[in-house]
Structure 1
Amino acid sequence: ADGARVVALRSRAIAAELAGHGGMVAVQRPLAEVEGILAACDGELTVAAVNGPGSTVVSGGTAALDELMAQCERRGIRSRRIPVDYASHSGQVDALTDRILADLAPIRAGRAQVPFFSTVTGDCLLGAQPPAPGALRGGRTGVGRRRLRRLRGMQRPPGARREYDAHPGGDRQRRRRDRLTAAR
């Protein structure tokens, strides 16, 4: 029940304070190339995630993302808007910190029953309880390939039989479908 409460309270805070003020764009280019493009954006855009060697997600304000997509089109770079109306993994998320900490204050963390691997640090949080402000870093910090590779290279804990990626978005599903289609 507490997990559902955390998700609901975070979603409510996003809807009240961030929705409609930004978004995310998937750019089909390597991180270094995307960082070069972003250098001209005066810090308005942030690398949100590196999903693969040629797949970088950028987040920021709506107007800046529109300009990024226009630049990509002019350069012949494939890009597409991710269906989200706020800039996850960017500075926009900082506005939620106080509200989320207040909303979550009554919830007391217990020992994890399932190993949880942080995409922020790459560490297993089984039994370890990060301080609440640290737990918010996932919404602010970009998801990097190095951390994800580190996670994938870890051995499963004793008794673990399955892995589950609890990501709510469809971008990973789309990429898997694209890879399967390309392999045919």
Structure 2
Amino acid sequence: MKKYTVYEIEKLTDGKLSKYKLTRAIHSGELKAESVKNQRKGRGTPNFYVYEDELKKYLGIVEQEKNRKIEIYDANESKNRRATEINDTVQTLMDNNKLLIENQSYKIDELLNRIQLLEKEQSQILPLLHENNNDKTKETEKSEQRRELLMELAQKDSISIDRKQTIFKTLNKLA
């Protein structure tokens, strides 16, 4: 006949029967258990051993009260089940990471294509900008010359006719 500690029962039932509930049931007499007399006290020392047939009787009572089945898993089965759950979780995480990496890779490729397109457009626009900038510089110089000539006409009252004619000719050329 197999005997379990309260801690083992809690683990085998996946926490459906807690150590507290089991200890309370033992003290109230609902669950028969063998008390352990130890010199040592504290963590890791069992207080009670519950025999398998007594545990099954108690489970029957609890299942009737709660209207649900409480299964006791074999320790190896419990470990295997947990290992399977962990493997499933790891596989799911790996699949999610793979999808995330593929998605990020697609986005990076898309961004690289955009960069190439922008660089191509920039290479076409830069010469036009330089050409336009040169035109602006020339127009600015002409405007400055016109301003100087007009200022000369406005400031001097007694300008010779020849000088006035050359100023007007220059202004016509600049127009």
TM-score with structure 2 setting the length = 0.27
Higher relative contact order (CA 8 A, sep 6+): 1
Largest Rg, 1 or 2: 2
TM-score with structure 1 setting the length = 0.26
Query: Between Structure 1 and Structure 2, which shows a larger proportion of helix residues?
Result: 2
